[in-house]
Chains A and B, each alone.
Chain A
Amino acid sequence: MPMLRVKRRTIVAFLLPMLAMMAVINLWPILYTLYLSTTNYSEFTSDNYRFIGLENYRELLFSLDSDLFPVLWQTLLYVLVCVGSFLIVGMLTALVLNNPRVKGLPFWRVLLLLPWAAPSGITALIWKFLFQYDFGPFNQIGRLIFGPHFGIPWLLNPTLAFLSVVIVNVWLSYPFFTVVILGALQGIPGELREAARIDGAGPWQYFRHVTLPLVTPALVPATILSAITTFQMFNTVFLITQGGPVVSALKPGATEFVMIYMYNRILGATVANPHYGFIAAFAITLFVILAALTYLGSGLGTRSPQTSRFREAQA
């Protein structure tokens, strides 16, 4: 690739703002967190903390009362349920919005994509009210149908709270998948449908053997991306449940996913003595997991056989 020949000064001048910012605000906090994770730094020991090697990691990974694995497990479960639902709802809406027999497609498209445009933080707070036990409209509707004693403890029961934050996340995220899948669907040449029909393929066979393989290349990166974002999700869930409901003081709350767990251990109202060192070890462990997932994901996204097949089909 041809490049411009310029003085070294010029190169430095162009790079400096970005590199300086990255060094101070991205790199330094990571290195400092790494350092913290090897100390016993906490609110009470902030004046005389010391290096304790890998003690925090040992406690995190091998101690029986470590919260790491329960929290990771419920986070992974959340990711699986959410991303699975995004795929199903996104696929169904995209297929319907791509169906030329439906009247008023632009109208439906705007309606169904509206959740995407609404600011997610605000909608999280709105959903929180919708789930409210006494005054929330969901239970009000239930009372209308099932009588005055009806009530679903949406945010008070651990399983239902988990379900609630799944519903909200599906509401927030399916439009992204609809758009991605719709884009891929519109790229499928019309002759294929005709060819499949002539060969006697039913709608399901057509979907299974023509649509799905052609949409997959677009879906793989979108799925990985949204799995990673869901894994790191903080805002929406925290605004609705704060990680609760907490059933026992010793166990993390039912919606206390990794980021919320960290946040609550540092800034939570009930934490008197935050163990910054221990939480730093938690953070570094998460970073390793995330980096590994991202690495695996990028490999999947670029080298999947589906992708190369799609390229061949297009060529």
Chain B
Amino acid sequence: MILTADLVIATAVAYVGLLFIIAYLGDRQTRTRTGGFLRSPFVYTLSISVYCTSWTFYGAVGTAARSGLEFLTIYLGPTIVFLGWWFILRRLVRISHDQRITSIADLLSSRFGKSSTLGVLITVLAVIAIAPYIALQLKAITSSIEAIAGSSEFGRGSLEGWDEVGLAFGVAAGMAIFTILFGTRNVDAKEQHHGVVAAIAFEAVVKLAALIAVGVFVVYMGGGMDSIFANAAAAGHEIHARDTFGDRWIAMTILAAAAVICLPRQFQVTVVENSDENHLRTASWAFPAYMLAMSLFTLPIALFGLSFMPEGSNPDMYVLTLPLAVGQDGLALFAFIGGFSSATSMIILESIALSIMVSNHIVVPVMLRLTSGTGIGDGQGVRRLILNARRISIILILFLGFGYFYLTRTSDALAPIGLISFTGVAQFLPAILASLFWRDASTKAAICAVLVGFVVWLWASFLPSFASSSPIVADIIANGPGGIGWLRPQELFGLNGLDPLTHAVFWSLFLNSTVLILGSLITNQSALEHVQAALFLNVFRRTRSEDSPIRGTATADDLFLVARRVLGHGRAVELFSEEAKLARMPWTTLEPSPAFIRRLERELAGSIGAASAHVMLSKVVSGDSVSLEEVMRMADETQQAIEYSQDLEKTSTELRATAEKLEEANRQLRKVDLQKDEFLSQVSHEVRTPMTAIRAFSEILLSESDLPRESREKFISTIHKESLRLTSLLDEILDLSALERGERAWENRPLDAEESLDQALRVCDALARQSKTKIVVESRAPSAYVKADPDRLSQVLINLITNAIKYNGAIAPEVTVRSRVRGKSYIIEVEDNGIGIAEDERGRIFDKFYRGRLGETGPYSGAGLGLPISREIIGRMDGKLDLVSSADEGACFRITLPLIAKPDAKAAQ
């Protein structure tokens, strides 16, 4: 085979013809059948592979030859995104199905309150950002044709007299015609192009096959992988030697991950053209596998090219020039077709996606502004206008790409151009993520954020690409605009030392996200934004019974007119017939329900975008354009009422709790009051007995003056005894009340409790002798230091021992005293062998004025305050006074005091 430029061009044209036939058949198949081969997940995956453009086909080898493994980042980033399809892509697809989203501009405009400003902004920015990418494809096709023409012994054939620019212009024009014929034949309600997708899928197979063919051939020629790597290493081409995994590696991975979501054509194939959410399951592994296959031979081709091809040959073209160099013309032609495939598929889809955005977000809104509410279109419908707008946009987009190519034709590498576009479209990513995950992101903030990111991109990434062709730009890069150093495009704010790409990615995305977040925090959402944000966030739990944002009194006729103009007669009739059938009434009397208007709006959105569809229907469904605001206000008022009633409920609960507390306090008070009354009556009773005696005896003494002397003295001594008893009773009451209120001055100091016990035993000795009671001192602790008031401790001990003596009642009374140290406690027990304390009295023995059976009747009746006072005193020493069950029948009282360390002599003094 003799490979000439003419043959190559003829083949390319024939190939395009083949694509056209495939597209035509694809369209026909989906029209006649509902599912079929074209809706399989594998065709879907192959169409996503439009991601691999001629940048992959030619440029990846060039990148590998220049910077080693770096080319892999472009495929690893998207691999991660597809691994995580459940979290981002699935949401995008579901939202787009629900909302009839037609493009990335439509998505953002729809989320941010159907804002037409945002739609226009995203569209314009996307068109600018994609220009370098289109230029890359033009450059690749031009270079590949030039490479073949340059190596052909038959010269340039009919290319004679065409320079590179002319050739690129020709390619751009051819592509424009082809894309117009291809992609703008009709306006689909869902903006799906089955024919185009079929052709793209076919191209995906062709480019993969071509690249693998070249790869296998190169590996065969190079004598296997190991010898290719060994030869390259011997020639000094080591992928190893470079600093690959630095900031640039990270930046490129992030960019590629962003691009596979944000590139208009990727959004088109992945989200808009998706006919079944479950296709993502297959694509999640099949698309990474496709990219893996595409990258498998990149390194061998690059390394073999470096060592085999003459010095100075363009590494971007190795895929083509290697077969040419060894005379494999057939393989070279296949490689050319592969490269051509990857370029055409990208150009076709990208310009279709962009043209949809331009017509839906710029042309249709302008048209709507220019016409009055009643006369939309000129009676021919907006369909033709939309199609024409798309055709013009395709031409505009391709020639913007050509313009970029013309201005930057002196730089030779493909990949850097593509990365400029990637950085540009990555500016949509923060807004997209916010629309999926953040309810409070506001329209104003999104607009500012995208604008800021884009300005930084223009300055730091787009502008520097003209440096090679413009001395002014080169000067700005070197010295900053007007010599302002901190505005140098590749060293913004003095940040130097970073790779220029990383620098641009960092500043643009950082400032973009910052503005988005801070802006959303300080601005408020409109009613419509609110509704849309909720719809986007709750896409997986939304019920279908919600009301349309547009409620209306529009007649079916008005709506039908609009629908026919946008959707076409057939589809409009179909829609209205369905609705009439559902409502069971004839067409003419059909009253459109809110649900139907909503459905219609979505159908229209499928053709002209959400914002335009909303405006268009709002114009027709007139008389209540305020309805949404009203609904929102009503909703707000309801919300306020609910909140108010919740507040009331909360307050009443609090009140109930307070009332309960008050009641409890009241109960306590009543109890204390009762205790006080009881105490007073007991005190009065106690005081009354001696007082009665004193009064009676003194009355006798007063009235009877001739009493014998001994009687008189007996009476006086009784009065004296009763007075003493009264005084001691009052002393005890005062003492107890002072102790209970904590008023007594009290000083606990370290002392040996054994000494206090000895003292108490001595004091009680006389009483014991008098009442013939035997005091048995059993085991004693050697010494026990506690913190106590010595007088008070003795008082307690004396009280306990005297009680044991006084209320014994046994025939041979005996009181046992013992003390011991148990762990960290010191214990004293006083036990008697009397009749003990009955079970029912044990609980009350420490109550005030309680005296027990013996106390009431015995010869030594006390006031019943000794034990309560003792217990109070021991409590003040952090100890315990208990009645414990004794071994014998008698009562046993136990004092437990905490031990302390023995103080040294000095401290004790």
Please determine whether chains A and B interact with each other in the same assembly.
no
Interface, chain B (partner A; CB < 8 A) = none
